[in-house]
Amino acid sequence: MFATYPPAGLARRTESLSSSAIRDLLALTARDDVISLAGGLPATDLIPIDRIAAAAEAVLRTPDAVQYCETAGHRTLREVIAARESVERGGVSVPTDTVVVTHGSQQALTLLAQALIDPGAVVVVDEPAYTGALQVFSIAEARIEAVPITETGMDTDELDRRLTAGLRPTLVHTVANFHNPRGVTMSEQRRRHLAALADRYGFWVVEDDPYGEICFAATDPADGRGTPPPPIACFGDRVIRLSSASKILAPTLRVGWFVAPPAVCAAVELLKQGADLCGSSMTQLMTADMLGDTGWLAVHLGTLRREYACRATALTDALDAEFAGLLTVSRPTGGMFAWATFEDGTDTTALLQVALQHGVAFVPGTAFGSDSRYRHSLRLSFAGSTPTVLADAVRRLGAAHSASARGL
Amino acid sequence: MFATYPPAGLARRTESLSSSAIRDLLALTARDDVISLAGGLPATDLIPIDRIAAAAEAVLRTPDAVQYCETAGHRTLREVIAARESVERGGVSVPTDTVVVTHGSQQALTLLAQALIDPGAVVVVDEPAYTGALQVFSIAEARIEAVPITETGMDTDELDRRLTAGLRPTLVHTVANFHNPRGVTMSEQRRRHLAALADRYGFWVVEDDPYGEICFAATDPADGRGTPPPPIACFGDRVIRLSSASKILAPTLRVGWFVAPPAVCAAVELLKQGADLCGSSMTQLMTADMLGDTGWLAVHLGTLRREYACRATALTDALDAEFAGLLTVSRPTGGMFAWATFEDGTDTTALLQVALQHGVAFVPGTAFGSDSRYRHSLRLSFAGSTPTVLADAVRRLGAAHSASARGL
């Protein structure tokens, strides 16, 4: 139907865009014969579909649920989020007007980048980093500066040194809880340090927190493992905190949000008006219905934490058994991912090709940053598979590693 | 909770953004004592809320409806849209891969602007123009060139003259069916002319069509009034056609779409991946369910057309009776808006202030373009009010006009 057009038909910045590594991988792993530990999808079998259907039925009784919505989000949902955020921050009042609802937290990242970043501005990210954030900052034409993730989160001492040496970022993005892909949680000391640096040097901190509520400790309060420290936002005013309903309720709601100073909210609201007018009042009211049903939510989150903890253990135990000392594996205390590093020089990008032939997929470390150290690392999602399937996946990975080592 | 930040905390382009005139007006008209003919909302009482609830119930039975969705849209919906678009184009095959689903057609506009427009590029718009499009092109830092709307749509002869004189637009945006705000429909001759100009000069045509299916003729086939000519896309390859479920089903679905050459679809898909990952599989499957239910849809669209026709007549008859020869009023043949122009020199921006005191709102002509001719014009939406309410609104407008003329 269409002729082929010369590249001149697209804008300059579009020509340089390329598909993300994760996206291309996901395309490869959609095959039925591949067990994918590559994706960032929450467990489909744990999405509360019946409760979602009940929420739809409950909200689709008033015209309010079918018309256009306020651009900043339906007030009912913003109030529920503000109240939850207030609890999260130890009771500090969080005004409703400081909450903006977005189309997933990916849209929050995009609109914040548009609102805060001029082309050429410096943006500090984790190394390794969430690839969706890298993509957003690259579309915003930011100069990206990566600061290593340690066992206690972003290395704020290193950031401090670079700031002293003259680095002047507009924004620092970090996943402080159950880091994607590293799995670690930022310590309270580093949180305080980062907030203090933001105040001293005048940059924004974007505290991206999709996984904070999937903390395994809640399944075993005596353990204490997994309970994250207070949000970075508790320690400073220049912190914009993002979260989402995608991982705790369902991606289909397309509901994310952020809490930020009013000037930032106002700027994003104007940008969102241009971007897509508003979100869906139906899915926002459904989200408010479920997040506001605290009794049900506590039970649901309990199930999610228990199941994810069980899957995490199944994966890491199987990896330890399969690879003995060849693979160093993180011990997830929450979230959806384990991070592993081969000690025998295995290149994980090369391994992936063989692994796909053996029917298992993961994301090679190099997808998350340019540091050559990540050549030997890989991210594995334990969220989407039952323990039995995870055990099978690890056997396949072992076979792929053996074949790869034999040069097959 | 938050300190006040210096403007340096926002990106440069954000500082220059301001809220749209329509948006500020809508805020004013949210008062209960004001009958608003200002908004672009479809009639709330005609939104098929029971059918929407049934669609939600039907789709929320499979996990497919609650997970992440393909970025370009759920294939089931893309197939339904491609099939409908094929019928719209007289049976020409429209491949599913040329359809991209977006978060309302406003997001389609935004992503297309990002994909196709470099800062400083020339974009031709209607004069008067859809304000949402003006906002998108202004955020994209386009140089906006306005070409007048005539009784037969955009004045392509004038465009032709400007092209001959050296104008080189990247993109021409027009609402060809039941124009917002002018109400007119582009003739087939002008459609062919525009498509031919696009081929000759190598620009994109964005054919923005949210209202095409709200054509009053269908209520009276003998009349023929209101049936639009074939889409501009039938006459050339450089046409990107946009539409939406917002006006025919419900805004809450946040489902829009466009049909474009594969290279454009691929670029927008990458941008959408960065912008918000994907749409809602739930609302997309619900939309597919309703658009695919052709028997029900025909009855629903019939109701919508009949009611809107009735409301349009009620509004324009009342305006004629109230203002006699003082006001020239368009005769809508579809869509949601009437366009009227005072012949007595009334400035509609000044009139609006008085009208609000009298409990009625509209959008002054100057909101849609810079031409000083529009000072005496106004856009009135007949969609959202019953004939009785419309008659009341017109009486209030008459009183406001009298008060305004007496200098009160």
Q: Write out the DSSP string of B146-190.
A: EEEEETTEE-HHHHHHHHHTT---SEEEE--SS-TTT-----HHH
CB contact under 8 Å between B1 and A93, yes or no, is: yes
Which of A 35-94 lie inside 8 A of B, CB atoms? 41, 44-45, 47, 49, 52-53, 56-57, 60-61, 63, 65-69, 92-94
**Which member of B1, B94, B280 has the closest CB to residue A254?**
B280
pLDDT digit string (tens) for A209-228? Answer: 999 999 997 555 555 566 89
In the numeric block, the tokens 């999405």 are attached to A47
| A23 burial level (CB within 10 Å; 0-12, 13-18, 19+) | middle
Task: Kindly state the average pLDDT of the residues A175-198.
Answer: 96
3-state secondary structure of B224: coil
Angstrom distance (rounded) from CA B245 to CA B225? 23
- Look up residue B365 and give its DSSP letter: G
Mean pLDDT of chain B: 91
CB contact under 8 Å between B254 and A280, yes or no, is: yes
Number of other residues whose CB lies within 10 A of the CB of residue B406:
7
CA proximity to B143, closest of B123, B163, B158, B126: B123
Angstrom distance (rounded) from CA A358 to CA A352? 10
Angstrom distance (rounded) from CA A178 to CA A194? 17
Residues with Cβ within 8 Å of A136's Cβ and at least 6 positions away in sequence, in order, are A106, A109, A110, A113, B274
H or E stretch at B205: strand B204-208
Contact present, A138 and A147 (Cβ < 8 Å) = no
CA distance to B48, B103, B265, B283, B286, per residue, from B290 (Å): 10, 17, 24, 11, 6
pLDDT digit string (tens) for A262-311? Answer: 999 999 999 999 899 999 999 999 999 999 999 999 999 999 999 999 99
Contact present, B275 and A114 (Cβ < 8 Å) = no
Distance from B110 to chain A by nearest Cα, in Å? Answer: 6
In the numeric block, the tokens 């579809």 are attached to B334
Q: Is residue B404 scored above 70 in pLDDT?
A: yes
Residues with Cβ within 8 Å of A155's Cβ and at least 6 positions away in sequence, in order, are A147, A148, A149
A10-39+298-405 maps to CATH 3.40.50.2300: no
Residues with Cβ within 8 Å of A25's Cβ and at least 6 positions away in sequence, in order, are A38, A352, A361, A363, A367
Residues with Cβ within 8 Å of B284's Cβ and at least 6 positions away in sequence, in order, are B69, B73, B74, B76, B77, B101, B255
The chain B residue lying nearest A19, using CA atoms, is B270
CATH of A64-292, one of 3.30.70.270, 3.40.640.10, 3.50.50.60, 3.40.50.2300: 3.40.640.10
Contact present, B31 and A282 (Cβ < 8 Å) = no
List, by residue range, all CATH 3.90.1150.10 domains of chain A: 10-39+298-405
Residue B275 at interface with chain A, using a CB cutoff of 8 Å: yes
Contact present, A210 and A253 (Cβ < 8 Å) = no
Residue A6: the pLDDT is: 40
Contact present, B101 and B253 (Cβ < 8 Å) = no
CA distance to A4, A8, A251, B172, B205, per residue, from B200 (Å): 15, 15, 45, 13, 12
CB pairs under 8 A between A and B: 249
Angstrom distance (rounded) from CA B99 to CA B247? 19
CB contact under 8 Å between A132 and B274, yes or no, is: yes
List own/partner pairs for B223-226 with CB under 8 A and 24 or more apart: B225/B333, B226/B185, B226/B333, B226/B334
Angstrom distance (rounded) from CA B352 to CA B358? 10
Task: Kindly state the average pLDDT of the residues A323-332.
Answer: 94
Q: Is residue A4 scored above 50 in pLDDT?
A: no
- SS3 letters across A340-406: EEECCCCCHHHHHHHHHHCCEECEEHHHHCCCHHHHHEEEEECCCCCHHHHHHHHHHHHHHHHHHHC
Angstrom distance (rounded) from CA A63 to CA B303? 18
Residue B9: the pLDDT is: 72
Contact present, A176 and A182 (Cβ < 8 Å) = no
pLDDT digit string (tens) for B311-324? Answer: 999 999 999 999 98
Which of B 305-364 lie inside 8 A of A, CB atoms? none
Residue A342: the pLDDT is: 97
Distance from A384 to chain B by nearest Cα, in Å? Answer: 11
pTM value? 0.93
List, by residue range, all CATH 3.40.640.10 domains of chain A: 64-292
Distance from B345 to chain A by nearest Cα, in Å? Answer: 33
| B375 burial level (CB within 10 Å; 0-12, 13-18, 19+) | middle
CB contact under 8 Å between A280 and B94, yes or no, is: no
Mean pLDDT of chain A: 91
CATH of domain B8-48+298-405: 3.90.1150.10
Contact present, A180 and A332 (Cβ < 8 Å) = no
CB contact under 8 Å between A44 and B66, yes or no, is: yes
Contact present, B256 and B102 (Cβ < 8 Å) = yes
Helices A75-88/A281-292 angle, 10° precision: 40
Q: Which residues of A touch B53 (CB under 8 A)?
A: 56-57, 60-61
More confident: B235 or B14: B235
Angstrom distance (rounded) from CA A46 to CA A248? 9
Q: Is residue B360 scored above 70 in pLDDT?
A: yes
- Alpha-carbon A80 to chain mean position: 22
List, by residue range, all CATH 3.40.640.10 domains of chain B: 62-293
Contact present, B364 and B352 (Cβ < 8 Å) = yes
The chain A residue lying nearest B18, using CA atoms, is A270
Task: Kindly state the average pLDDT of the residues B40-52.
Answer: 95
Report the CATH fold assignment for B62-293. Aspartate Aminotransferase; domain 2 (3.40.640)
pLDDT digit string (tens) for B274-298? Answer: 899 999 999 999 999 999 999 999 9
**Which member of B67, B106, B274 has the closest CB to residue A110?**
B274
Q: Are strands B337-342 and B327-329 parallel, antiparallel or unpaired?
A: antiparallel
CB contact under 8 Å between B251 and A67, yes or no, is: yes
Q: Which residues of A touch B67 (CB under 8 A)?
A: 41, 44, 47, 250-252
The chain B residue lying nearest A261, using CA atoms, is B2
List, by residue range, all CATH 3.90.1150.10 domains of chain B: 8-48+298-405
**Which member of B2, B8, B237 has the closest CB to residue A3?**
B237
CA proximity to B136, closest of B145, B127, B153, B123: B123
Q: Is residue A202 scored above 90 in pLDDT?
A: yes
More confident: A150 or B24: A150
Q: Is A153 left (phi over 0), alpha (psi -120 to 50) or beta?
A: left
CA proximity to A85, closest of A71, A96, A76: A96
Angstrom distance (rounded) from CA A193 to CA A197? 6
Q: Which of A1-15, A80-94, A161-175, B368-382 has the lowest mean pLDDT?
A: A1-15
CB contact under 8 Å between B98 and A270, yes or no, is: no
Model confidence at B227, pLDDT cuts 50, 70, 90, reads confident
CB contact under 8 Å between A2 and B92, yes or no, is: no
CB contact under 8 Å between B106 and A274, yes or no, is: yes
Q: Is residue B13 scored above 70 in pLDDT?
A: no
pLDDT digit string (tens) for B367-392? Answer: 898 777 899 999 999 999 999 999 99
pLDDT digit string (tens) for A113-126? Answer: 999 999 999 999 99
Q: Which of A28-37, A128-137, B14-23, B143-152 has the lowest mean pLDDT?
A: B14-23
Task: Report the amino acid identity of residue A398.
Answer: G
